[in-house]
Amino acid sequence: MSTSLASLTIRQLQNELKTGHISPVDIVNDVIESINNKDSEVGAYLSINAEEAIKSAKDADTSKPLGGIPISIKDLINVEGQPCSCGSKILKDSYVSTYDATVIKKLKEAGAIPLGRVNMDEFAMGSSTENSGIQITKNPWDLKRIPGGSSGGSAASVANDTAIASLGSDTGGSIRQPSSFCGTVGLKPSYGRVSRYGLVAFASSLDQIGPVTKTSEDAAIILNAIAGKDPLDSTSLDSDVPNYLESMNGEIKGLRIGMPKEYFTDGINPEVLSSIHKGIETLRELGAEIIDISLPHTEFAVSTYYIIATAEASANLARFDAVRYGNRVSDPTNIIEHYRKSRAQGFGEEVKRRIILGTYVLSSGYNDAYYVKAQKVRTLIRNDFTKAFEKVDVIVSPTAPTPAFKIGEMCNDPLQMYLADIFTIAANLAGICGISTPCGFATEDADNRLPIGLQILGPALQESTILKVSDAFEKATDWHKQRP
Ligand code: GLN
């Protein structure tokens, strides 16, 4: 074959494997070669476990659904024997996972090979991967720009053909937004669809693990492997897992697609807006019915999220006390100083900001005014979606209001950065599912095309429906086939 195996999709590799012309070892070697050739300028990987991956490839059973397919893993999902730093200095070089997260166990059972750890915003807090305490990851489409975040390493590795697919996590947009910026497909499953056991928690009521892939078909293949009830995660749902590939027949005639007026407002980059409108036109041509809807509490989503997410983070990150988890300073004079100095040194600015904010909104006297209030608004946001899904099957919007921004452009303005997630956050608050698929390019930079993502949201546990729509869209377009 003339094209590199690393550039193929899971489905294409499965077909190649069936012909017997290639082996899982060829695939793993090709991906490692691609990482060696191309990752130094992008910086998606924090580490790769080449030797072990080749060994697994030798034993791989290609009759399994993901047999012999190497997958990059966001650095907050535990893989036994591999480092897990969550993009943070506090864990770097000090923590090696002692167990497999349930998603990893399931991926391995399906035959997949975890190949390396990919970069992220520290503890998944951010939208650009610039908050990583370890390294900068660049957008393969334009090395002056960020890949999005927090799963920036996942999206950059898939876009750069240094991974066949990746696992990321999404608390407020972290799978969908980097997918939009890097021209990949990113699926956030409904809350509870996929076990969070072994995912280092940021905000436990919002976090979900999901795939970043080159096509929706590949996302369905991975979701088939990782979805389902897990006795080790009491919030995982005991609901049948359909075969997600079965709904993908390209047929969306008569499907009702909602366009929320609150998601098509001023402030969206004009090239993004025009690509989204063209994308929606394509869906209409495929026979879908486009219906105007309203999600009236949208304007409160970002502030609600930043109260709930920081509150939960302040509790979840307490475990990094440099006693059990985390690097410790060498010279504390007493235990309080031990905590204070180790945490001050180990955590980056954004993580500290959120721990302080989260502690504040939970503190006595402010709890009712902020945290309890935010929970009430969260219910209103969830009700908006429940009502909307009485009228429509799915909802479409831009995934992000802009294409990828320049490195350094937003770092000093956290509030501006928080707005990068304005269209993705509500889905996490409501617990519903969402996917981003490529729908065009912005050309604001004369030298580089910048990918744009179309977001498709569906009711809780309706991953089949959103995958069906994104797959139909991909069958009718070729945006997802473009490479940097
Ligand atoms: N960008 C959002 C944040 O910083 C979402 C991150 C995420 O989904 N992990 O919280």
Pocket of ligand 1 (CB under 6 A): 124-127, 150, 170-174, 202, 309, 421
Ligand 1: residue whose CA is nearest its atom 10: 125
CA of 117 to the centre of ligand 1 (A): 19
Q: Among 121, 132, 416, which is best to mutate for testing ligand 1, by the most ligand atoms less than 8 A from CB?
A: 121
* Number of independent structural domains in the chain: 1
Q: Among 76, 122, 150, which is best to mutate for testing ligand 1, by the most ligand atoms less than 8 A from CB?
A: 150
- Tell me how far apart the alpha carbons of residues 242 and 232 are, in angstroms, rounded to a whole number: 21
- Tell me how far apart the alpha carbons of residues 172 and 304 are, in angstroms, rounded to a whole number: 11
What is residue 418's predicted lDDT score, i.e. its pLDDT? 85
- Helix/strand/coil percent split, the chain, to 5: 40, 15, 40
- Tell me how far apart the alpha carbons of residues 179 and 163 are, in angstroms, rounded to a whole number: 14
**What is the tens place of the pLDDT at every residue in 26-41?**
999 999 999 999 999 9
Q: What are phi and psi of 255, to 5 degrees?
A: -65, 140
Atom index in ligand 1 nearest the CA of residue 169 equals: 9
* Catalytic center residues: 74, 150, 174
Low-confidence ranges of the chain (pLDDT < 50): 1-2
Token readout for 145 is 């720009």
47 found inside a domain: yes
- Tell me how far apart the alpha carbons of residues 50 and 202 are, in angstroms, rounded to a whole number: 29
217 found inside a domain: yes
198 found inside a domain: yes
Domain region containing 101:
5-256
- Tell me how far apart the alpha carbons of residues 256 and 290 are, in angstroms, rounded to a whole number: 6
Sheet with 45-47: list strands edge to edge. Answer: 45-47, 113-118, 70-74, 165-170, 208-213, 185-188, 433-445, 448-458, 394-398, 256-260, 289-293
Ligand 1: residue whose CA is nearest its atom 5: 172
pTM above 0.95, yes or no: yes
Atom index in ligand 1 nearest the CA of residue 202 equals: 9
Ligand 1: residue whose CA is nearest its atom 4: 126
58 found inside a domain: yes
What is residue 1's predicted lDDT score, i.e. its pLDDT? 43
**What is the tens place of the pLDDT at every residue in 47-89?**
999 999 999 999 999 999 999 999 999 999 999 999 999 999 9
- Tell me how far apart the alpha carbons of residues 421 and 180 are, in angstroms, rounded to a whole number: 11
182 found inside a domain: yes
- Tell me how far apart the alpha carbons of residues 304 and 421 are, in angstroms, rounded to a whole number: 13
**Residue 115 contacts residue 48 (beta carbons within 8 Å):** yes
427 found inside a domain: no
128: Cα within 13 Å, side-chain hemisphere: 25
CATH number at residue 194: 3.90.1300.10
**Residue 69 contacts residue 10 (beta carbons within 8 Å):** yes
340 found inside a domain: no
Atom index in ligand 1 nearest the CA of residue 149 equals: 1
User: Distance from first CA to last CA of the chain, Å, rounded?
Assistant: 21
Q: Using the structure block, give the residue that is written with the tokens 């990746």.
A: 166
Instruction: Give the relative orientation of helices 10-19 and 216-226 as an angle to the nearest 10 degrees.
Output: 80
389 found inside a domain: no
Helix (H, G, I), strand (E, B) or coil at 41: helix
